[in-house]
Structure 1
Amino acid sequence: MRSRRSVVSGLVLALAAFALAVPPATANPVAGATVSHDTCGEAPAGHMRCFSTWTPGESMQEFGASAVKRPKGISAADIRSAYKLPASGDKGKGMTVAVVDAYTNPHAEKNLKVYRKVMGLKPCTTKNHCFRTVNGSGGTKMPEADASWGVEINLDVQAVSAACPNCNILLVAAKSSDEKHLGQAVRTAARLGADVISNSYGRDENGSMGKLGRTYFEHPGIPMVVSTGDAGFRAASFPAVLGTSIAVGGTTLKHTAAGKWRERAWENSGSGCSAWIAKPAWQKDKHCGMRTTADLSALADNFAVYDTFGLGEENGWLTVGGTSLSAPLVAGMIALAGHPEKVTPASVTRNHALLRDITSGPANGDCGDDYLCQAATGYDAPTGWGSPRGLKVFS
């Protein structure tokens, strides 16, 4: 009989060669639909896909064009409460969080205006120099608009707003979802002075990613925060699997009867044992001889997002989930703490006692209840060392 370690290792190698088929995104869903929609769908070879799903909430017709009521889903105030973030003051002021996405959403700024108004946050606009959008090279000519990636764009900028209301937001819109176009957009974000860069996309790792990582995704002194994916335990996702990336898995949040928050592993949180990237010196888990993801985690479920571009009669408030949410939340928290240049995957690991250990939740795959696919005391791959409990882990 093979040992658990042998079983897990064999499964990891099998998963590394496996590509999960994902249903295509629904850009214009049938009116009244209540099912969740995969935002970006399956990506062709050489491209990345975003890691989110959305469910229709209150449409503009139901909610009113002014959209001033509080929508369904987790709010900005809920994020501050659940993660013990400061509710007032000037923390984060002067910090810039860059979100890198493919294509563009021409309504992103006006949707952000509505989101922040409803959530009780100060305006963040081009006019007050809080919000800025550039293309993948840093110019002002925007790429093609895309309703699917448009949901992702709104999710990213609104999640950063929830975590760090005082932060400046730099949206860098890559020409397409091609890995090199997204990589160039990351380099542009670094060149334009981003303090933290959030990346809510990825693809299965392979042998060519080392050069891509070194060329585009490694910027010392700028935390590279990356979603681990939404397909559970499988081949590790690039660029989250890079040793220089802060790989963020997903959780769910629920209010308890006592009015506190209960946080558990999210069932689709991406985790993986790399077949290509060597194990960093700071990572000590036993059943994966190479780089393991994730490093830490945050909410990946039921977040309120306002979107009025390309969704037909479903334009309005959505509830959105996926590790595409957890990455910009963590990026915002890193900026909020005020010392992003000191935050690395190694520093998060070193200070893991300052995180909230996530010890329960459904498995995200079949690995014999091993920590690689099951939340457990201490380190586990779906949630890493846990979720932020205040800002000290990033300070």
Structure 2
Amino acid sequence: MPIFKYYRPNAYFEKAVRYNEIYFAANHELNDPNDLKASYYFEDDPELWKYLLSSKPISPAWNILLHLSCNDEELILRLNEIFKDVKIDSLTGSVREAVKIKEVELLDLFERSIIEHSAPPDSGVAESASKKDRARLCILILTELIARAINHQFYSVSFSKNALDSMMWAHYADGFKGCVVIYGGLDGPEIKLRHHLMSDTYEVYPLREVKYIDSDKLIPILECATKGKAKVEEAFLQKNSFWKYEGELRMFTTQEGETHYMAASDIKLKSPRQRIMHHGTNFITGIIFGPRIEESYQRYIEATIAGNREYADEKLGFFSFNTVLEPHGKVKVSAATKIIDRNLGRRVYQGEEMQKLLADLRIT
């Protein structure tokens, strides 16, 4: 199915259509400050603590089972009790800080629970290490294990199922002066993006539907650390019902951090990874121009897309729609054409033919 994205008439929009750009935004760049924000919480589930302690270590030196037993029921129950209902904010929280608050309790618990061992040579554990030293090492390793649940930063790009929503046009399209880009063909879009404009290699990004639920966004830490991060994405697909009119569809990209760095330092490493990606030229099916668009700007945007298709050796035709704002506040398509050559030659759609085109493109 076609999908829609609202744009203001500015340089960012012009770059998007000229260079086939899709920009993945961070939380602070989004309209809703709670959009990519959630709370991680520790579940009341001793079995998940067993799974966590049994997780494959990142190296022999980070193997907590050299020091503790995941079959120590007293240890497991006490860990569960210590962390039960503790929460970590997804944007401002720190795994190290959450563990540090419990450091005194953990040090006592681990020191009492240390097992006798004969550490392998590559473990990095000295035979002469005291129980207290090993307990401190266990706290570091536990922090790394917990960090596996939250070692990522989410970025998103949003589309809509609705092309003519008046509230969307008023807010996201600069008071009806902007545009809506139609992405995808009549048979449905394939979201293939590449990391560089000149690259021939694409990655497929799933398009997910946002759910509008009036409740806190909570993510289970132990489940995510041991069974995968499906619950993380589910949380970031949840929005307050106030935003339901947007009919939002969303794609994500993530930046992952090294868990051993997260365990050892609160400094957040900066990633050089680019959050601007590029789609194929034919992915733009058409443009819906707002009721207050300037005609010269409309011609400029049409020429930009036509030029892209010519130089990319793509099929030239794409649709161009004009709109009006009716007295009762509804946005309505007033004209429909197909640009058929680089000189902006047009095929005009009218009457029933135009209504069929709008229905096929789900512009309602």
- The TM-score, its normalising length taken from structure 2, stands at 0.21
Q: Larger radius of gyration, structure 1 or 2?
A: 2
Report which of the two has the higher share of helix: 2
Higher relative contact order (CA 8 A, sep 6+): 2
